[in-house]
Structure 1
Amino acid sequence: MKDERLEECRKVIKRIAWRLQYQAKKVSARELPIIENFCGQNQLSSVDSKLYVEDMLHSLPSKARFIIEQVVINGVPEEIVAKHLGISQQGVNKYKRKYLGVLRNQIQSTS
């Protein structure tokens, strides 16, 4: 009986872990190509690339810049950023998607 319960708990934990991993892959697949396409994976740490990304971020409104820096660059969960700003998690997600699109368009127009 105890072994069955333990096995059931393991199955549930594996399922939860798989969902979290899948969700993280979806998010990174949506957000990381913007940085990698511009900077290149090997050049991500170069000073020029960092300065350019910083310059692009400063072209955004302050709230959008804070959200992009925290959620995309620093990996802070949207819920925590939402509580800090006093808005909903959906609002943070909406800002993030909108301004990632703006940054994407800026990169494409300069290329």
Structure 2
Amino acid sequence: MITDKQTILLAKGGIKGWGNNHFKSSTNRTPYKKTNGTLGEKKFINLELLLIADVGLIGLPNVGKSTLINIITSAKPKIDIYPFTTIIPQLGVVYIEKKTFIIVDIPGITKNSSKGHGLG
């Protein structure tokens, strides 16, 4: 899955069966009948999670997230004095001795960000 809210059918379900309630009538209020449904597909699926970063910096606007990325990596995100300078995530690679990891600068989090308000 590559895009947001993308759906993929991995296995088709079976056909439902009918339970007691389906067979209820005016003369038989508590039937003990059922029909079996059919089984769906059975598959073994191996999913792999692809991460874009090892570390994410989150926080309020204008707290220095981009400045930190600028100092500890070779990335050069736009830095300015007004809020929401960062509007798309910025990636940087941190090199420590013989190891590396990817750090991402996320746009500022504000009240109701989870509801689509602001840019975070």
Say yes or no: TM over 0.5.
no
TM-score normalized with structure 1 length: 0.21
Structure with bigger strand share is: 2
Give me the TM-score of the superposition, normalised by structure 2. 0.20
More helix by share: 1
* Structure whose alpha-carbon radius of gyration is higher: 2
